[in-house]
Amino acid sequence: MDQERWTEVDRYIAERVLPADSALEAALAASDAAGLPAIQVSPSMGKLLQLLAQSIGARRILEIGTLGGYSTIWLARAVAPSGRVVTLELNSAFAEVARSNLGRAGLGERVEVLVGPALETLPLLAAEASEPFDLIFIDADKESTAEYFRWALNLSRRGSLIVVDNVVREGTLIDDDRRDAHIQGIRDFYALAAAEPRVSMTAIQTVGIKGYDGFAVALVSAEAQTSSC
């Protein structure tokens, strides 16, 4: 089993169930031309995000980690035109590329890209005291994943879904000699989720065009508190 085979199988799946999509392709081309790293979710994962959001009838979605807005397009398509996606991005140049990609995809009206370190913009969102988010996708710097999860709980309600990308990282999370901050951040996230009575969670290992990684899905099963984190 190797990368070439995983990539071919992802292609096989995409050819059958993910029709060519000019807005998504244009977003990837523009992101590439602007020099953004190609670390967006795979097409299959993007579609899964859309399906999850549609299946819970999500109207309000929060994303942490926008990059060029590729995953944002999938998420924004899942909400009605009256729905809202708020997406947080540290890098203002990336955020500009994302805004342009979302505009080209006809989704600019329903998406707000907030620039800054997410640990600074999340408290502002919490202070707004607007409605909770129905789905939250965590996909920014991995060292802060546990803190983002805590904020996600704070900004959600019973029935909200929290999806977390990159929670396996080639299995390095079980290597005791790996103390890197980005791996430790994922371990902290599992420890937090395990101790958190308000969530029911699983994590799935994946292989595909992005190699060997995984994602977690958590259902918020009790009302989250409204105090700040």
Residues that bind Mg ion (CB under 5 A): 139, 165-166
Q: Is 166 a residue that touches ligand DHB (CB under 6 A)? A: yes
Among 3, 25, 29, 39, contact with ligand DHB (rule: CB under 6 A): 39
Q: Is 165 a residue that touches ligand DHB (CB under 6 A)? A: yes
User: Cβ-count burial of 35 within 10 angstroms (0-12 exposed, 13-18 middle, 19+ buried)?
Assistant: exposed
User: Cβ-count burial of 26 within 10 angstroms (0-12 exposed, 13-18 middle, 19+ buried)?
Assistant: middle
71's contact among Mg ion, ligand SAH, ligand DHB, none, with CB below 5 to 8 A by partner kind, is ligand SAH
Among 24, 40, 151, 156, contact with ligand SAH (rule: CB under 6 A): 40
Report residue 5 CA to chain centroid gap: 26
Cα–Cα distance, 35 to 81 (Å, whole number):
30
Among 79, 88, 97, 138, contact with ligand SAH (rule: CB under 6 A): 88
Q: Is 141 a residue that touches ligand SAH (CB under 6 A)? A: yes
Q: Is 144 a residue that touches ligand DHB (CB under 6 A)? A: no
Q: Candidates 16-24, 66-74, 172-180, 183-191: pick the segment binding ligand SAH (CB under 6 A).
A: 66-74
DSSP alpha helices (H): ranges in the chain?
3-17, 22-33, 43-55, 70-78, 92-104, 118-128, 145-154, 181-194
Return all residues near 64 (Cβ < 8 A) that are at least 6 apart.
Answer: 87, 88, 118, 122, 136, 137, 138, 139, 140, 148, 152
Cβ nearer to ligand SAH, comparing 14 with 221: 14
Q: Is 145 a residue that touches ligand SAH (CB under 6 A)? A: no
Q: How many CA atoms lie within 13 A of 154 on its CB side?
A: 19
Among 134, 139, 196, 213, contact with ligand SAH (rule: CB under 6 A): 139
The residues binding ligand DHB (CB under 6 A) are 39, 139, 165-166
The residues binding ligand SAH (CB under 6 A) are 39-41, 65-67, 70-71, 88-91, 94, 117-118, 139-141
